[in-house]
Amino acid sequence: MYPGTHAQTAPDRPAVIVAETGRRLSYRQLDDDSAALARVLHDAGLRPGDVVALLSDNAPEALVVLWAALRSGLYITAINHHLTADEAGYIVSDSGARALIASAALSELAAPVGAGLPLRLAFGGDIEGHGCFEEALAMAGPRLTEQPCGAVMLYSSGTTGFPKGIQPELPGRSVEEPGDPIVAIAKALYGIDGSDIYYSPAPIYHAAPLRWCSMVHALGGTVVLAKRFDATATLAHIERYRVTVTQMVPTMFIRLLKLDADIRTRHDLSSLRAVIHAAAPCPVDAKQAMIDWLGPIIYEYYSSTEAHGMTFIDSPDWLAHPGSVGRSVLGVLHICDDDGLESPVGEVGTVYFERDALPFRYLNDPEKTAGAQHPDHPTWTTVGDLGRVDADGYLYLADRKSFMIISGGVNIYPQEAENALALHPAVLDVAVIGVPDPEMGERVKAVVQLAEGVCESDELAQELIEHTRSRIAHYKAPREVEFIEELPRTPTGKLVKGKLR
């Protein structure tokens, strides 16, 4: 299904609501505008398999562009608007984009990007070198009669080296036809339908918000799009719009849990029936606290921008298997050692998902594509995460292989110490890294961003070390603590450990 389906049955139902202002885009408008833009892109020479690039803040027009691409057989590449113009320009060039559509709120970034493309449009105002988005839609020709299904092609975060495009195969079906496995999984696991109000506070250029907003639209629900995440505002928005489903990352959970008790209890959150989280490992204590607060409505999935596989776990299963990210619902799980041999139950190794065919390739980088494949099984792919599987098939993530600390020949996974420190009242944010040590090779170091009003001191550093040692083995705990003004995180909550090092 797609917006046109719901434009016929519920044309006035809101497809998008802007959380801060209440601005609404109905299903009729979303269908009409995306069909008009699909025509504009076609008349500019774009054909199935071509790429349209998007530079946008969290604005409803971003979802118009998304659906225009998806109903035209195009790839849509949403670009992180926190990049520099050179970095954004690299993605436009590397992707082979033939059109760029940008928000006027990002005019300084967008103006120098994509010169020479067949089509550049700006919405919400003017950008030098761009045509007017609104005028282009108003002057568009008749709807296209054929609507081959397009796909999302996003770029890796680029925390190490240049980012790479993650290109799936085009679905090979019409956008009106069913067949999207993610939509089917979401419907089966979360029961999402046209009655749901989905709250999306994360940047729309990120894989999960972009794909989940499209999935909610495919099922006829309403997306409440927040400009940015703010813990207090999130609670107010949930109450105001009677949000039923939302998706967050663990950093957002921790921000919510650290609100004063009177703020957390001030708002009516009874409309919520599903709070979904993913994107990064969640500290066990934080997840337990969320379940204690909101009830057994916390759901978790583990996947990646590559969408090569997926696990799922609900609250009752998690309470029985604390720390797990669930069992596979897309692809067959395999845990392999450094030689590619499958590891015994309970042993940590590289996480692979087996699919019927290679689910993605890295654009213009066959070497990186080959590096993501198992050496003996080309349809088993990995993104470099480490984990173990228990006897019941539940996956427990350890960390990224690149984050692992080797101290005195012993493997240490920083996530364990980070989880132990995350809810300490003095800690606003924390990262644990390995630093060179002449005797041990590496030693464990915690880098801490303090909560407001807390002052750094040697005594506090030692308290944090002892706090960690009381929760995990001493050798895994930091031997030193450094205080920092702000940790480098992407707007989607992922820690940029390469930059931190």
CATH number, domain of 305, equals 3.40.50.12780
User: Above 50 in pLDDT, residue 159?
Assistant: no
Instruction: Please state the rounded mean pLDDT for residues 53-74.
Output: 98
Residue 224 domain flag: no
CA-to-CA distance for 368 and 350, rounded, in angstroms? Answer: 16
CA-to-CA distance for 17 and 226, rounded, in angstroms? Answer: 9
Instruction: Please state the rounded mean pLDDT for residues 441-462.
Output: 93
135: Cβ contacts below 8 Å, ≥ 6 apart: none
Same domain, 167 and 275: no
Q: Across all residues in the chain, what is the average pLDDT?
A: 93
Instruction: Please state the rounded mean pLDDT for residues 423-448.
Output: 89
Per-residue confidence at 83, pLDDT binned at 50, 70, 90? confident
Same domain, 99 and 203: yes
Collapsing DSSP to helix, strand or coil, 437 comes out as: strand
Residue 403 structure tokens: 């984050």
Q: What angle do CA 288, 291, 294 make, to 5 degrees?
A: 150
CA-to-CA distance for 385 and 400, rounded, in angstroms? Answer: 4
Is 335 within 8 Å of 312 (Cβ atoms)? Answer: no
Per-residue confidence at 454, pLDDT binned at 50, 70, 90? very high
Residue 25 domain flag: yes
Residue that terminates a domain, selected from 168, 199, 218? 218
Residues 167-195 have pLDDT tens digits of 999 999 999 998 888 888 889 999 999 99
Same domain, 341 and 445: no
Q: Supply the pLDDT for residue 496.
A: 79
Q: Hey, what amino acid is at 183?
A: V
Backbone angles phi, psi at 480, to 5 degrees: -150, 155
Is 352 within 8 Å of 306 (Cβ atoms)? Answer: no
Question: What's the domain count of the chain?
Answer: 3
Structure letter (DSSP) for residue 306 = T
Backbone angles phi, psi at 89, to 5 degrees: -65, -35
DSSP annotation string for 343-405? PPTT--EEEEEE-SS---EETT-HHHHHHTB-SS-TTEE--SEEEEE-TTS-EEEEEEGGG-E
Residue 155 domain flag: yes
Q: Say which CATH number the domain at 487 has.
A: 3.30.300.30
Same domain, 163 and 261: no
Residue 102 domain flag: yes
The residue among 292, 399, 411 whose CA lies nearest residue 351 is 399
Is 389 within 8 Å of 357 (Cβ atoms)? Answer: no
Q: Supply the pLDDT for residue 158.
A: 47
Residue that terminates a domain, selected from 400, 434, 463? 400
Residue 223 domain flag: no
Residue 26 domain flag: yes
User: Above 90 in pLDDT, residue 411?
Assistant: no
pLDDT above 70 coverage of the chain, percent: 98
pLDDT above 90 coverage of the chain, percent: 79
Residue that terminates a domain, selected from 338, 368, 400? 400
Residue 323 domain flag: yes
Is 359 within 8 Å of 381 (Cβ atoms)? Answer: yes
Burial (Cβ within 10 Å: 0-12, 13-18, ≥19) of residue 439: exposed
Q: How far is CA 276 from CA 28, 186, 273, 296, in A?
A: 28, 11, 10, 11
404: Cβ contacts below 8 Å, ≥ 6 apart: 386, 398, 411, 412, 413, 414, 434
Q: Which residues pair with 121 in a beta bridge?
A: 101, 131
Same domain, 276 and 183: no
Same domain, 196 and 249: no
DSSP annotation string for 453-500? TPPP-HHHHHHHHHHHHTTS-GGGS-SEEEE-S---B-TTS-B-HHHH
Q: How far is CA 71 from CA 65, 76, 112, 209, in A?
A: 10, 11, 28, 19
User: Above 90 in pLDDT, residue 492?
Assistant: no
Residue 157 domain flag: yes
Instruction: Please state the rounded mean pLDDT for residues 31-47.
Output: 98
Instruction: Please state the rounded mean pLDDT for residues 454-475.
Output: 93
Same domain, 396 and 408: no
Same domain, 162 and 260: no
Is 434 within 8 Å of 409 (Cβ atoms)? Answer: no
Q: Hey, what amino acid is at 288?
A: Q
Same domain, 280 and 393: yes
The residue among 211, 359, 321 whose CA lies nearest residue 276 is 211
Q: Supply the pLDDT for residue 354.
A: 97
Q: Which of 7-16, 400-409, 419-428 has the highest mean pLDDT?
A: 7-16
* Ranges assigned E (strand) in 59-118: 75-78, 99-103
The span from the first CA to the last CA of the chain, in angstroms, equals 46
Q: Higher model confidence: residue 195 or residue 283?
A: 195
- pTM metric for this prediction: 0.85
User: Above 70 in pLDDT, residue 32?
Assistant: yes
Same domain, 388 and 408: no
Backbone angles phi, psi at 35, to 5 degrees: -65, -40
Instruction: Please state the rounded mean pLDDT for residues 192-209.
Output: 95
User: Above 80 in pLDDT, residue 198?
Assistant: yes
Same domain, 67 and 195: yes
Domain extent, residue 253, equals 229-400
Q: Supply the pLDDT for residue 157.
A: 62
Same domain, 415 and 320: no
Least confident stretch, 60-69, 255-264, 438-447 = 438-447
